[in-house]
Amino acid sequence: MKHISSVQNQSVKRIIELQSKAKARKESNCFIVEGLRELQLAFMADYEATHIYWCPEILTDLTFKKWISKFNLNSIIISVSIEVYNKMVIRGSTEGVIGILKQKNVKLEDWQPKNNCLFLLVLESIEKPGNLGAILRTADASGVDAVIISDPHTDIYNPNVIRSSVGGFFSVQTFVCENKQTKDFLKKFKINIYAASLQKSIKHTDGDFTKATAFVMGSEAKGLSAFWLKESTAIKIPMLGHVDSLNVSVATAILAYEVVRQRKS
């Protein structure tokens, strides 16, 4: 097994570039995943790892071999010193494993959902990776069938998306496309569209989400575009204090669990 002990090694520089630059991720069609749990979820979702870097000073040889043996991988496995490992990762604490994974390019128009009562989240131009990751975490927890990232303003393979999703990135079906593609899909499958908006809205608990439902959430800075406001029923979450809006990931969680409540009752 190859071992890297110098932070000047080209492999280290490549990891750092993939961590920090969306252009590098796009050109290579690869991204970085840190940690045992996240990598395990990625492998369960059939993501392919080209390289696995392992730090024996953090994770013992026996534990690593026991973990890696659970997966049928064709990855190049390289051990690294703790100095090198700390240079590669961006998380404050990890389990001593980091991987380079190939991106998936799954198209919305190719998806054939089996569920007749779909529950979807449409995220228009979400800008902050942390919010996107948090929404993916909520989507996993609340049983969302798919998340559609429409007219994206952030790279979904940003390491902060992966980290803040706590594995939800790999367990939730996710698509990236343009607004028109998204609308055409929703119309094709006769999905009721609800837009989170304060204008001419009904209370979020007054909508009927027992039928096929999609919530459309807007960007942090500008909210939803006119494209979605004219295509949907506006709903709002009551604001009882002095501020006029919630963080988009918090608002999404409230709406998602209203669907859970209605469908469980």
The tens digit of pLDDT for each residue in 115-169 reads 889 999 999 999 999 999 999 999 999 999 999 999 988 999 999 999 999 999 9
Q: Residues 12-48: pLDDT tens digits?
A: 999 999 999 999 999 999 999 999 999 999 999 999 9
Q: How many domains does the chain have?
A: 2
Cα within 13 Å of Cα(64), Cβ side: 18
pLDDT, mean over the chain: 94
Tokens 């630059």 correspond to 21
96 and 113 fall within a common domain = no
Cβ neighbours around 211 below 10 Å, total: 15
Going by C-alpha positions, the residue among 139, 252, 134 that lies closest to residue 195 is 252
Same domain as 250, residue 212 = yes
* Structure confidence at residue 231 (pLDDT): 85
Burial of 84 (0-12, 13-18, 19+ CB in 10 A): buried
> Could you tell me if 120 and 147 are in contact, meaning their C-beta atoms sit under 8 angstroms apart?
yes
HSE on the CB side for 251, CA within 13 Å? Answer: 27
Residue 92 has pLDDT above 80, yes or no: no
Do 112 and 203 lie in one domain? The reply is yes
Q: For tokens 């059939």, what's the residue? A: 46
Same domain, 51 and 137: no
43: Cβ contacts below 8 Å, ≥ 6 apart: 49, 71, 73
Question: Which amino acid is located at 133 in the chain?
Answer: G
Q: Of 39, 69, 102, which marks where a domain is finished?
A: 102
Instruction: Tell whether pTM > 0.85.
Output: yes
Same domain membership, residue 165 and residue 56 = no
CATH of the domain at 203: 3.40.1280.10
* Per-residue pLDDT tens digits for 213-255: 999 999 888 889 999 988 899 999 988 999 888 999 999 999 9
| End-of-domain residue from the set 41, 74, 102 | 102
50 burial (CB, 10 Å; 0-12 / 13-18 / 19+) is middle
Q: How confident is the model at residue 265 (pLDDT cuts 50, 70, 90)?
A: low
Q: Which domain holds residue 231?
A: 108-264
The pLDDT tens digits of the residues spanning 158-207 come to: 999 999 999 999 999 999 999 999 999 999 999 999 998 877 789 999 99
Categorise residue 97: left if φ over 0, alpha if ψ from -120 to 50, beta otherwise.
beta
- Produce one character per residue of 233-246: b if its CB has 16 or more CB atoms within 10 Å, e if not: ebbbbeeeeeeeee
- Tell me the C-alpha distance between 65 and 80, whole Å: 15
- For residue 49, give the CATH number of its domain: 3.30.1330.30
For residues 212 and 190, the answer to whether their CB atoms sit within 8 Å is yes
CB 71 within 8 A of CB 97: no
